[in-house]
Amino acid sequence: MRVLFTTYPEKAHFLAMAPLAWALRTAGHEVVFAVQPSFCPVVTQAGLTAVPIGGDRDLWQLMNRDLNWIAAGTNGLPVPYDAAEWRPRDVTWTYLRDGYAVQVPRWHKMSNVPMVPALVDFARHWKPDLVIWEPTTYAGAIAARACGAAHARLLFSVDGFGVTREHYLRLKPAESGDDPLAEWLDGYARAYGFPYGEDLTTGDFTITLVPPSMRLEADGLRYVPLRYVPYGGPAVVPGWLRAAPERPRVAFTTGISFAEHGAGSAVSLRDVLGTLAGLDVELVATVGDAERERLGGVLPGNVRLVRFVPMQALVATCSVVIHHAGFGTLATTALQGVPQLAMPFDGDGPALARRIAAQGAGLALLAAQVSGPTIRDRLLRLLREPAFGVAAARLRQEMLDMPSPNELAGDLAELAGR
């Protein structure tokens, strides 16, 4: 079977897709990643085959020029996808329609238009049996339909996109043809000679890395579970990490997006260091060069700053992990059965943080709640109350019970054939 992966150039999303790509390759399938040219080195560094398609467009650069380029909800999923977490009776069609009218041109077109023509051309040439696409890389769905392949989203968070679409179709007046997302995708369907279908928005099926107790899913869609496998790129485990810590070790990280792009964070490292300086813990903070320079001065004696450390190896030695609620960090911590303090800023972070707290596997501090005293208080609770460790172990087992990439690789040919 030939499997084509595609994503807009976001490293955190690619890292979540890579383990399944490896599993398919080792199972004997042909696998390639079709990505924008400047992103090819990220793919090849992971030992996978890249195909450059389209032109380069840096969404982070666009975001820095226009902070409102994605109309945000209130510290959460962007409009209209924030409505996925509302009570159904509170969602209105006009809210969803107006949200799509903003996000289609300012987000989805920006990330997909540079990719579509070249991706369709490559798919028609290479003839994949299955296309697996990042949930907002609709170019993958278009290319799959254009070449007759099956296609699936690979979901690494709550399905705000699928649930919002479910709400939209449920609420859309019968007499109205106003549907910004469908109208945009239908233009490609007509151009490439196939009829529009809702699979262009949500795939033939959805592969999800989210454990069952934390999911937000749409009715009527098929979800195929896949165990999360941590991968953060090339890494070396330092010698100090192989020795048992002399006191409880606490990790603090704001993730790849913050380190590489300066994405939003609910708290500054300076505040965290000042808050935790007097505690009997060892604080290991992953810090980029720019952030390290901003700190300046002498660090507290219980703090170790590192530019990068393999997250799985670090978390395995920790008593608590403090993080930004990015899915990779959150899932790596959950897979090790370690309690966590999630302090999200926006995007899907608040939704994921609330679910960790609901499972009892950690605590959440939304942006408006973050302060030095609250961070200290929540950390002490996580260190002192055994119930968090019990719940974290339960969540770990739930993740281990999901099919591994190797196990799913054997099923994907059958799913694609259907």
pLDDT tens digits for range 231-286 = 999 999 999 999 999 999 999 998 755 445 444 555 677 777 888 888 999 999 98
On the CB side of 266, CA atoms within 13 Å amount to 30
How many angstroms separate the CA atoms of 194 and 129, rounded? 17
For the segment 329-384, what is each residue's pLDDT rounded down to a tens digit? 999 999 999 999 999 988 899 999 999 999 999 999 988 888 888 999 999 999 99
Residue 73 in this model has a pLDDT that exceeds 50: no
How many angstroms separate the CA atoms of 6 and 149, rounded? 14
pLDDT of 71? 46
Q: Where are the alpha helices (DSSP H) in 296-385?
A: 311-315, 327-335, 349-358, 372-384
pLDDT of 267? 67
Contacts of 337 (CB under 8 A, 6+ apart): 389, 392, 393, 395, 396
For the segment 97-131, what is each residue's pLDDT rounded down to a tens digit? 999 999 999 999 999 999 999 999 999 999 999 99
Higher pLDDT, 298 or 390: 390
Q: Is the pTM of this model over 0.85?
A: yes
pLDDT of 72? 46
Structural contact between residues 253 and 286, judged by C-beta atoms closer than 8 angstroms:
yes
Structural contact between residues 194 and 146, judged by C-beta atoms closer than 8 angstroms:
yes
Taking the CA atoms of the chain, what radius of gyration do you get in angstroms? Answer: 22
As given in the structure block, the two tokens for residue 208 are 């999800």
**Three-point CA angle 184, 142, 160, nearest 5°:** 70
For the chain, report the end-to-end CA distance as a whole number of angstroms.
14
Place of tokens 């699928």: 162
pLDDT of 63? 54
